[in-house]
Structure 1
């Protein structure tokens, strides 16, 4: 049962308008329809390939430590590109942590390589003086 908000008439049917004053009635449902979960992504989510490449290069840089810059620079570059791909992906592309880990491994290896080179040069120049 409904009551018209305009004239107060009690209406028991399924009318859309009040038969007395003609005002549109609000519809009330006893059993509302089920709520559809709209948070389910419609586009399949996948990891950024560049982020994965960055992580692989970053890990391999530390395993193959005797090749200093061969994999550290691609780890950093792929990490930055993968991170920006995740930002642009609007939720369809994941792998932010993977890209950051690959970048961190690459940057750490570059810093240690430069530091080791500076120490090596200082030792060689110090021995010649």
Structure 2
């Protein structure tokens, strides 16, 4: 038995196999990261690397490949950047929209409370007329309950914001303990 001959290295080819563009691969990776978590922080570099990578691939005369990677990086970079800009816009606008809703709810509560106080004041005046009460008389809730016009149940009005109503005497209007809730 004889020893086999060592393998012969083939002669180097005059046309080496094209290699993938590092910029194109980096662009695709950063583009994917921009979609997943980093938004425009990796989206913008993905777009830049993708554009430069495509230019280098085009000018390489076939020695570089990866145009698809670069295109994928550019597209995902744009999408990730736009999504992050949209998210930032929503987070910036959210407090303004919430503030508007809260102020509308507050105004609505004030109007409802004002209406309740006007109804209570009317019930006080009606009680005073029917009972010929003195001007400084102070009715109770039981005295005015039937004049509140709430049907047979005669439930007492409640402040929609959770305030407490005070009747007072006939010369003063009823009050709510929440600031801004009044007949004035």
If the length of structure 1 is used for normalisation, what is the TM-score? 0.60
Mapping of 1:111-122 within 5 angstroms? 111-122=82-93
Structure 1, unaligned runs of 5 or more: 1-39
Match of residue 60, structure 1, among 23, 26, 33? 33
Q: Post-superposition, which runs of at least 4 consecutive aligned residues in structure 1 deviate over 3 A? A: none
How far apart are residue 44 of structure 1 and its match?
2.8
CA distance in 2, matches of 1:127, 1:43: 63
Structure 2, unaligned runs of 5 or more: 1-12, 101-184
More helix by share: 2
1:82 aligns with 2:82: no
How far apart are residue 43 of structure 1 and its match?
3.9
Query: SS of 2:35's equivalent?
Result: helix
Match of residue 20, structure 2, among 32, 44, 47? 47
1:93 aligns with 2:64: yes
Match of residue 109, structure 1, among 46, 63, 80? 80
CA distance in 1, matches of 2:96, 2:22: 44
How far apart are residue 41 of structure 1 and its match?
7.8
What RMSD in Å do the two structures reach over aligned CA positions?
2.0
Mapping of 1:12-23 within 5 angstroms? none
CA distance in 1, matches of 2:47, 2:84: 14
CA distance in 2, matches of 1:41, 1:114: 49
Deviations 1:18-55 (A, max 9, x none): xxxxxxxxxxxxxxxxxxxxxx9824311111001111
Higher relative contact order (CA 8 A, sep 6+): 1
Number of matched pairs: 88
CA distance in 1, matches of 2:14, 2:80: 38
CA distance in 2, matches of 1:92, 1:41: 12
